[in-house]
Chains A and B, each alone.
Chain A
Amino acid sequence: MKKAELVIVGGGPAGLSCAIEAARLGAKVLVIDENERPGGQLFKQIHKFFGSREHQAGVRGIDIGTKLLEETAILGIEVWLNSEVVGISKDKHIWVVKDGKTSLKVEADKIVLSTGAIENSLNFPGWTLPGVMGAGAAQTMINIHRVTPGDRVLMIGSGNVGVIVSYQLLQAGAEVAAIIEAAPRLGGYGVHTAKVRRAGVPFYISHTIKRALGTDRVEGAEIVALDAKWQPIPGSEFILDVDTICVATGLTPLAELAWTLGCCFQFVPSLGGFVPDHDQYMETTVPGIYVAGDIAGVEEASTAMEEGRLAGISAAAALGYLSGEERERRCGEVWDRLNSLRSGPYGEGRRKAKELILSTEGGIACDRAI
């Protein structure tokens, strides 16, 4: 069986930043990712990032991804691609399926889970028809596979994902018939919302989808207005002529591996739901298992990278590459940056939610007996 000091599951911005940090400190790192190339969501993000300049705002996600890959290569970090982690035992044996057919096992001293998040679905009559898909799926299709999901799209959800993917659908040559939002106000950052509005896409607030039309594929969508109590207003229905319906109603941490490892969880709606409980070093309630990035609470690539660094420093220290004092100093620096990222009207709520996780002991599904 292969042995590795530190195995990082998921090579997105969190996992790669973690790998770079730990490798620089001397740890022997293995990154395992299920895709053809690492980078996670970054290679789908062709827009200029939000945030402050010191955190690479104004730089496109794809360019941040390229930089991370370069650093990973320079440091000679081992990366397994097309490799899915399908299980981890409590004694840190990792079961990997490579290329969809080869079974491999790895024994790790420390493990970082940086598996990201999964899109929430929305159930309405017709939601399983071909043509209804996650907004992230549409983004993957246009920016990675270079195929538009359809000609005329309805976007459900006006948050950042909804408006950014809408704009990218326009850039790919599709038409966006409308963006609907159940809440009485729009959810995305002003810059991105304004870009889509300027392009002429209509927004409907206090509206939701009633059903998708079509038998073999989407042929339209019935929309309905909602009253102040979020109840459908009879008679307000109308049909939109679309062949694609994209669902952008938030993300949930992708944490199955943490569940099966027996990690404790906390339910934090503002971070996407059930989040593996962790301390300020990103260690979960199972010793030697760390989390970083969207799995530890759905946020942004900028925070994911900083959390990856925290996990990398902590794991390297636990492996003996850093003194306790040096770990404190380095983690403190990262925390200063994280606190500045989690400020302002959009960040404050996330900072408070994160503080809650750090200050609460335990949570649900505790399995401390391991």
Chain B
Amino acid sequence: MARVLNHIILGAFPERRKVTITVDGVPMEAFEGEMIAAALWAHGKKDLRYTKKHNHPRGIYCGIGRCTDCVMIVDGIPNVRTCKTPVKDGMVIETQKGLGEWKGGTGHEES
């Protein structure tokens, strides 16, 4: 896994602000706005969650928010699809075990 810095058709890697996120308690550099899962894979972290029954690892499978393989605990909210959730400065991300634990926020607004 590596970032594609210079692409023959797409050109140079888009300019983005460097930010710091925390992954399982360890600070990690990422780019603001990139998908969390992409940032983690670029750093070689491929096991994003472990299944409830057999404790098997899961990574990125569909990459477009359909399969839920990539769900993690983001800022206390479990089951967040990291392949389609952009990185924000200071985000706290945890590898999810089973169904995860609800650690705060309603995660939902009515309008």
Residues of A at the B interface (CB closer than 8 Å) are: 34-36, 46, 60, 100-104, 118-119, 121, 128-134, 136-138, 140-143, 145-151, 171-173, 216-217
Bound: A145/B35 CA distance, A: 7
Known: A104-B111, A136-B64, A137-B60. A147 touches B42 (CB 8 A): yes
Greatest chain B CB density within 10 A among A118, A119, A142, A146 is at: A146
Whether A130 contacts B4 by the Cβ 8 Å rule is no
Whether B66 contacts A133 by the Cβ 8 Å rule is no
Interface residues of B in 16-74 (CB under 8 A from A): 34-35, 38-39, 41-42, 46-48, 56-66, 69
Whether A140 contacts B57 by the Cβ 8 Å rule is no
Whether B57 contacts A129 by the Cβ 8 Å rule is yes
Bound: A286/B46 CA distance, A: 43
Chain B contacts of A101 at CB under 8 A?
107-109
Q: List 14 A-B contacts (CB under 8 A).
A: A35-B84, A128-B58, A134-B61, A137-B60, A140-B63, A145-B35, A147-B2, A147-B4, A148-B1, A148-B2, A171-B9, A173-B4, A217-B46, A217-B59
Chain A contacts of B58 at CB under 8 A?
128, 130
Please give me the residue from chain A that is nearest to B8 by CB atom: A171
Chain A contacts of B57 at CB under 8 A?
129-130, 216-217
Closest Cβ–Cβ distance, residue B108 to chain A (whole Å): 6
Whether A143 contacts B10 by the Cβ 8 Å rule is yes
- Cβ contact of B47, chosen from A36, A140, A149, A217, cutoff 8 A: A217
Whether A118 contacts B14 by the Cβ 8 Å rule is no
Chain A contacts of B8 at CB under 8 A?
171
Closest Cβ–Cβ distance, residue B52 to chain A (whole Å): 13
Q: Is B110 an interface residue (CB 8 A)?
A: yes
Greatest chain A CB density within 10 A among B10, B39, B66, B69 is at: B10
Closest Cβ–Cβ distance, residue B30 to chain A (whole Å): 11
Whether B4 contacts A142 by the Cβ 8 Å rule is yes
Whether A133 contacts B59 by the Cβ 8 Å rule is yes
Whether B10 contacts A137 by the Cβ 8 Å rule is no
Chain A contacts of B56 at CB under 8 A?
128
Chain B contacts of A132 at CB under 8 A?
59, 61
- Cβ contact of A137, chosen from B1, B48, B64, cutoff 8 A: B64
Greatest chain A CB density within 10 A among B4, B35, B69, B84 is at: B4
Whether B7 contacts A149 by the Cβ 8 Å rule is no
Since A100-B85, A148-B1 are in contact, a sample of 19 more A-B pairs with Cβ atoms closer than 8 Å, ordered by chain A residue number, is A35-B84, A46-B9, A101-B107, A102-B111, A103-B108, A118-B62, A118-B66, A128-B61, A134-B62, A137-B64, A140-B63, A146-B14, A146-B38, A147-B42, A148-B4, A171-B7, A173-B4, A217-B57, A217-B59
Please give me the residue from chain B that is nearest to A41 by CB atom: B64
Chain B contacts of A133 at CB under 8 A?
59-63
Closest Cβ–Cβ distance, residue A342 to chain B (whole Å): 27
Whether B41 contacts A141 by the Cβ 8 Å rule is yes
Closest Cβ–Cβ distance, residue A151 to chain B (whole Å): 7
Closest Cβ–Cβ distance, residue B4 to chain A (whole Å): 4
Whether A140 contacts B107 by the Cβ 8 Å rule is no
Whether A102 contacts B38 by the Cβ 8 Å rule is no
Closest Cβ–Cβ distance, residue B71 to chain A (whole Å): 12
Greatest chain A CB density within 10 A among B5, B35, B48, B80 is at: B35
Chain B contacts of A36 at CB under 8 A?
86
Bound: A223/B102 CA distance, A: 42
Please give me the residue from chain A that is nearest to B63 by CB atom: A137
Chain B contacts of A142 at CB under 8 A?
4
Whether A145 contacts B66 by the Cβ 8 Å rule is no
Closest Cβ–Cβ distance, residue A123 to chain B (whole Å): 12
- Cβ contact of B41, chosen from A102, A103, A147, A172, cutoff 8 A: A147
Closest Cβ–Cβ distance, residue A291 to chain B (whole Å): 19
- Cβ contact of A131, chosen from B5, B10, B42, B59, cutoff 8 A: B59
